[in-house]
Amino acid sequence: MTVGHEIAAALEVVGLHKNFGALRVARDISFTLEPGARHALIGPNGAGKTTLVNLITGVLRPTSGSIHLGGVDITRARLERRVVLGLARTFQISSLFLPLSVAENVALAVTAKAKIDTQPYGPVYRRDAIVAEVQRLLALFEIEATAQRRVADLAYGQRRLVELALALALKPKVLLLDEPAAGLPKRDSERLLEILMRLPAEVAVLVIEHDMELVFNFARRITVMFEGGILAEGSVAEIRRDPQVRDVYLGHRRDHEMAS
């Protein structure tokens, strides 16, 4: 037992490897998210970003390496256990209940969280507390006006906000966002950034994004992946001026996205 006063990292990944047959999709991945981190994970298509999220959330098992969440070893933990310990994610492809309303989708997530919190005692949560929490989340993500509409009838950008509300309903310590701005028109992605800026300060957030404006404005640190490995990690300024990063990733993008 340690007697020091070190605060455990929110998430610590050490020496993670994953092979799909001969394809090495994660090679020696190590990084740490401190509580309250605002961290971006970037890299070209196929670099292994979503695979890494799948390893952290337990969708995939690593070939070797370890994952700790709040100091607890979750390398081999089941998905549900990881959620209980404070891990939440959104998906590159939507995972909402399309025939249900926005409020119903959020209420399902809030109820699931209430059940987790009261597990040893059975479902002792109160209906009015659930309703209040649903209202709070709808307000946080500015989707009150669509509360009674079916998710299937919503514009794409609105759906992405509902997904964020679902993830936040779990009151995570670590939130993994896989391309939240993908497919959004410029205006919506600016609005998304404003909303991301309002996420609770204590939650560690890892965002995967190709929208460099969002990345540079949101993140304090950036990790760059390339061909399954980590190419670079640093502050926004360090990554922007890293010649290797410009070559393999940012260099592939339109010049104006790089301009300061």
Ligand X SMILES: Nc1ncnc2c1ncn2[C@@H]1O[C@H](COP(=O)(O)OP(=O)(O)OP(=O)(O)O)[C@@H](O)[C@H]1O
Q: Which residues contact 171 (CB under 8 A, 6 or more apart)?
A: 86, 113
Secondary structure of residue 122 in the 3-state scheme? coil
Binding to Mg ion by residue 50, rule CB under 5 A? yes
Binders in 4-33 for ligand X, by CB under 6 A: 20, 23, 25
Buried residues in 97-124 as b, exposed as e (16+ CB within 10 A): eeeebbbebbbbbbbebbeeeeeeeeee
Binding partner at 181 among Mg ion, ligand X, none, C-beta below 5 to 8 Å by kind:
none
Least separation in angstroms between residue 44's CB and Mg ion is 10
Burial, 217: exposed, middle or buried (Cβ in 10 Å; 0-12, 13-18, 19+)?
A: middle
Which part of the chain contacts ligand X (CB under 6 A), choosing from 44-52, 167-175, 215-223, 230-238? 44-52
Least separation in angstroms between residue 182's CB and ligand X is 8
| Residue labelled with tokens 């009674």 | 148
Least separation in angstroms between residue 125's CB and ligand X is 36
Binding to ligand X by residue 229, rule CB under 6 A? no
Considering the complex, state which of residue 91 and residue 97 has its C-beta at the smaller distance from Mg ion. Answer: 91
Q: Which residues contact 169 (CB under 8 A, 6 or more apart)?
A: 106, 109, 110, 112, 113, 133, 137
The DSSP bridge pattern shows strands 72-73 and 23-33 to be unpaired
Binding to ligand X by residue 50, rule CB under 6 A? yes
Residue 1's CB is within 10 A of a number of other CB atoms, namely 2
Considering the complex, state which of residue 50 and residue 105 has its C-beta at the smaller distance from Mg ion. Answer: 50
Which part of the chain contacts ligand X (CB under 6 A), choosing from 30-38, 42-50, 230-238, 239-247? 42-50
Binding partner at 51 among ligand X, Mg ion, none, C-beta below 5 to 8 Å by kind:
ligand X
d(CA 256, CA 79): 40
Considering the complex, state which of residue 47 and residue 175 has its C-beta at the smaller distance from ligand X. Answer: 47
Q: Which amino acid is at 164?
A: L
Considering the complex, state which of residue 43 and residue 70 has its C-beta at the smaller distance from ligand X. Answer: 43
Considering the complex, state which of residue 38 and residue 49 has its C-beta at the smaller distance from Mg ion. Answer: 49
Question: What residues make contact with ligand X under the rule CB under 6 A?
Answer: 20, 23, 25, 43, 45-51, 92
